[in-house]
């Protein structure tokens, strides 16, 4: 080998390694980068910080904001106050969105749906959720989640990243960064989206909601598309078969390995490993998506939509298959919960989309022994107002955005089933007892995965950032 050439290469390499170690995030992550070269599954040293109850999480995000008082938080005390103006003593001058701030009256709209008590705990559910209510004893219901944001995009961004402005890492990326990946054939963070029937043209979802922000991009969520090829560029180019492709990769790897032996840059080893992962994904992803061998009774339990790829039901089934394959974080986004008008009909449609599949997912996970180490979360970005947006009639009303209180559900690993946590006032407007901020919720999720949320940090622009900013306390009341 030409010694001059070797010297040149060493020089360039040293410069690059030097720059990497000094300008970016010192020490820890450079080390993480080196270990990454050996196996694609390593997380940070020292993580998990304590014994994890959950190995993985399935987060069922209900995008658009489901109405808490029509589904989970009944208010019999105002049932006979239909049409009365919302008292100032309750609203306390709270800011409203421009969609209702011009309204002359704020007529109270009690829900028209009946509630019942379910399970041994007597947890309350609306009649719109006949399947989920049967899972009452598996669920913890938090009625006092509150958020800072009042519009969809900042509110979802806040749930996902702990900040209303875009640019910070999403929760799944933080988990991938801290804990690494368990499955060598699939990404650690997978996102699935579906359109709701309640309001088909609802708010869009931007890919940055599962972005890795300033964390290295290998931690970003991989969205499986809900139409066409689930993963882009998974199929070989037309006319290239697997054997031809395999030979190309073998040749590529041998040349990359040759280079590695000359210059010793660990990045080359990583690149070889990633080409191998890509090749494995060409078979692992189709295998993951192929549900043809699922027994009929399992498919039936998720409801008829399970046969329509890209539906919430089909995505719930895929979530279970990903949990079986130890994908760290599966996040579903079901759109269509934004019911400013015509709420009764629209919310019923959304419940039809999601009620049976969500319940089936919980049962399916339990029957396979996966629920004990899988954390399941269900909820949206904020709640809805008790007063009607637009006209209130005996059978119809709409509800505006309401950040002050809303309900979320948790189940599975480490969660105490049958708990109803927190209390809101008679108008479902303010929190009376046990508030849970979004940072508290995220701290709880990290805690179940064995992460002290104050320790998972990343230095960026001169500051140590974390998912929970400077806030957050795990909600002990819902933990087993």
Partner 1 sequence: MFGAGTLDERMLRRSIYFMIKRSKLIPSMQLFDSPEPLVSQGSRPATIIAPQALHFMNNGQVRASAMELARQLKAQPDTAAAVTLGYQTVLGRAPTPKEQKSIASFIDVQEKSYANNGRELALADFVQVLFGLNEFIYVQ
Task: Specify the stretch interacting with partner 1 by CB under 8 A; choose among 194-202, 214-222, 334-342, 385-393.
Answer: 214-222
Q: Should residue 228 be labelled a site residue for partner 1 when binding is judged by CB under 8 A?
A: no
Q: Should residue 187 be labelled a site residue for partner 1 when binding is judged by CB under 8 A?
A: yes
Determine if the peptide bond prior to 245 is cis (ω within 30°). Answer: no
CB of 272 to partner 1, least distance (A): 9
From candidates 17, 28, 166, 479, binder to partner 1 by CB under 8 A: 166
Helix (H/G/I), strand (E/B), else coil: 1:
coil
CB of 97 to partner 1, least distance (A): 21
- Rounded Cα gap, residues 322 and 480, in angstroms: 25
Pairing of strands 329-334, 189-194: parallel
Q: Should residue 461 be labelled a site residue for partner 1 when binding is judged by CB under 8 A?
A: yes
CB of 416 to partner 1, least distance (A): 38
From candidates 15, 38, 105, 247, binder to partner 1 by CB under 8 A: 247
**Closest to 460 in 3D by CA, of 33, 24, 46:** 24
Comparing CB distances to partner 1, the nearer of 119 and 460 is 460
For the stretch 79-88, contacts whose Cβ atoms lie closer than 8 Å and that sit 24 or more positions apart, written own/partner, are 79/110, 81/108, 81/110, 82/107, 82/108, 82/109, 82/110, 82/392, 83/107, 83/108, 83/392, 84/108, 86/386, 86/387, 86/427, 86/429, 87/427
Task: Specify the stretch interacting with partner 1 by CB under 8 A; choose among 235-243, 335-343, 366-374, 468-476.
Answer: 235-243
Comparing CB distances to partner 1, the nearer of 14 and 244 is 244
Q: Should residue 248 be labelled a site residue for partner 1 when binding is judged by CB under 8 A?
A: yes
- Rounded Cα gap, residues 176 and 178, in angstroms: 6
- Distance from CA of residue 69 to its chain's centroid? 23
Task: Specify the stretch interacting with partner 1 by CB under 8 A; choose among 57-65, 255-263, 293-301, 366-374.
Answer: 255-263
- Rounded Cα gap, residues 242 and 175, in angstroms: 34
From candidates 82, 134, 259, 471, binder to partner 1 by CB under 8 A: 259
From candidates 99, 277, 291, 298, binder to partner 1 by CB under 8 A: 277
Q: Should residue 84 be labelled a site residue for partner 1 when binding is judged by CB under 8 A?
A: no
Footprint on residues 18-57 left by partner 1 (CB under 8 A): 20, 23-24, 40
- Distance from CA of residue 126 to its chain's centroid? 24
DSSP secondary structure string for all residues of 337-401 = ---SSSHHHHHHHHHHHHHHHHHHHHHHHHHTT-GGGEEEEEE-S-EEEEEESS---SS---EEE
From candidates 26, 77, 232, 432, binder to partner 1 by CB under 8 A: 232
Binding mask 359-388 for partner 1 (x = CB under 8 A): ------------------------------
Task: Specify the stretch interacting with partner 1 by CB under 8 A; choose among 15-23, 73-81, 296-304, 372-380.
Answer: 15-23
Footprint on residues 389-408 left by partner 1 (CB under 8 A): none
**Closest to 212 in 3D by CA, of 188, 229, 236:** 188
Q: Is 108 exposed, middle or buried, given 0-12, 13-18 or 19+ CB atoms closer than 10 A?
A: buried
Comparing CB distances to partner 1, the nearer of 214 and 426 is 214
Comparing CB distances to partner 1, the nearer of 44 and 132 is 44
Burial 355-385 (b: 16+ CB within 10 A, else e): bbbbbbbbbbbbeeebbebbbbbbbbbbbbb
Compute the 3-state secondary structure of the chain and give helix, strand, coil in percent, each to the nearest 5: 40, 15, 45
Instruction: Give me the residues that bind partner 1 (CB under 8 A), please.
Output: 8-9, 12, 16, 20, 23-24, 40, 165-167, 187, 204, 206-208, 211, 213-214, 216-218, 220, 222, 231-237, 239-241, 243-245, 247-249, 251-252, 254-256, 258-259, 265, 267-268, 270-271, 274-275, 277-279, 281-282, 460-461
């Amino acid at each position: 080998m030409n010694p001059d050439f070797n010297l040149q290469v060493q020089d360039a390499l040293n410069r690059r390694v030097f720059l990497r170690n000094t300008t970016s995030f010192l020490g820890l992550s450079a080390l993480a980068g080196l270990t990454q070269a050996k196996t694609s599954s390593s997380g940070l040293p020292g993580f998990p910080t304590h014994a994890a109850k959950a190995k993985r999480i399935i987060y069922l995000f209900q995008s658009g904001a489901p109405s808490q008082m029509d589904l989970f938080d009944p208010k019999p005390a105002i049932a006979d106050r239909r049409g009365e103006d919302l008292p100032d003593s309750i609203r306390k001058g709270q800011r409203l969105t421009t969609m209702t701030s011009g309204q002359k009256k704020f007529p109270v709209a009690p829900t028209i749906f009946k509630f019942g008590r379910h399970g041994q705990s007597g947890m309350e559910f609306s009649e719109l959720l006949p399947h989920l209510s049967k899972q009452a004893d598996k669920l913890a219901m938090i009625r006092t989640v509150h958020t800072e944001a009042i519009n969809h995009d900042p509110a979802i961004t806040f749930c996902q990243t702990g900040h209303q402005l875009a640019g910070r890492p999403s929760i799944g990326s933080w988990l991938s960064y801290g804990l690494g990946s368990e499955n060598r054939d699939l990404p650690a963070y997978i996102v699935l989206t579906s359109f709701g029937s309640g309001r088909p043209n609802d708010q869009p979802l931007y890919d940055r909601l599962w972005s890795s922000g300033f964390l290295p991009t290998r931690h970003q969520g991989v969205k499986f598309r809900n139409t066409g090829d689930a993963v882009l560029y998974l199929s070989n180019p037309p006319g290239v078969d697997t054997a031809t492709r395999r030979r190309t990769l073998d040749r590529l790897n041998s040349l990359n390995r040759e280079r590695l032996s000359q210059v010793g840059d660990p990045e080359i080893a990583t690149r070889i490993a990633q080409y191998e992962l890509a090749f494995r994904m060409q078979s692992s992803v189709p295998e993951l998506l192929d549900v043809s061998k699922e027994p009929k009774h399992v498919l039936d339990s998720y409801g008829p939509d399970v046969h329509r790829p890209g539906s919430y039901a089909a995505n719930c089934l895929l979530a279970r298959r990903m949990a079986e394959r130890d994908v760290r974080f599966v996040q579903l986004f079901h759109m269509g919960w934004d019911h400013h008008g015509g709420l009764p009909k629209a919310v019923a449609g959304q419940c039809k989309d999601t009620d049976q599949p969500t319940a089936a997912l919980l049962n399916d996970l339990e029957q396979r022994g996966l629920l004990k180490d899988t954390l399941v979360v269900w909820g949206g970005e904020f709640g809805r107002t008790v007063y009607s947006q637009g006209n209130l009639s005996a059978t119809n009303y709409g509800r505006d955005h309401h950040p002050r209180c809303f309900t979320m559900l948790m189940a599975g690993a480490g969660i105490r089933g049958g708990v109803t946590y927190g209390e809101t006032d008679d108008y479902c407007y303010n929190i009376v007892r046990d508030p849970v901020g979004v940072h508290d919720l995220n701290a709880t999720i990290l805690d179940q995965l064995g992460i002290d949320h104050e320790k998972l940090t990343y230095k960026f622009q001169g500051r140590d950032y974390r998912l929970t900013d400077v806030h957050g306390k795990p909600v002990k009341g819902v933990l087993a």
